[in-house]
Amino acid sequence: MDASGGVRRGHLALARRVRVERIEETTIEILGPRALYYTEHTEGLDDAQADDQALVATYLNNRPATIYGGSNEIQRNLIANSMAAL
C-alpha cells in the first residue's frame, strides 16, 4: 500500500471524529438545562428523560476519547507531513 492510502484513511478518520464531536456538542446544546441533570440511574424516568440521559452519557463517554486517542491537531500535522512527503 502506498503512503497516499494512509493519508486518505487518516483524513477520513479525522473528518469522522470532528463530525461526531459536532453532532454530540449540538445535541448537548439542544438539551440545554436538561443535560445538567445527568444521572446513571434511569429508574423512574419517563422515556423522554431516559433518552436525554442516554444522549448525555454518550457525550460524556466519547469526549475523553478525543484526548487519549490523540488530538485532532496532531492528526492534522501527520496528514500534512505525509502529503508533503508525496
Q: Which residues of 41-65 are buried (b: 16+ CB within 10 A; e: fewer)?
A: eeeeeeeeeeebbebbeebeeeeee
pTM: 0.64
Lowest-confidence range among 27-31, 68-72, 80-84?
A: 68-72
Mean pLDDT of the 21-47 span:
88
Higher pLDDT, 26 or 39: 26
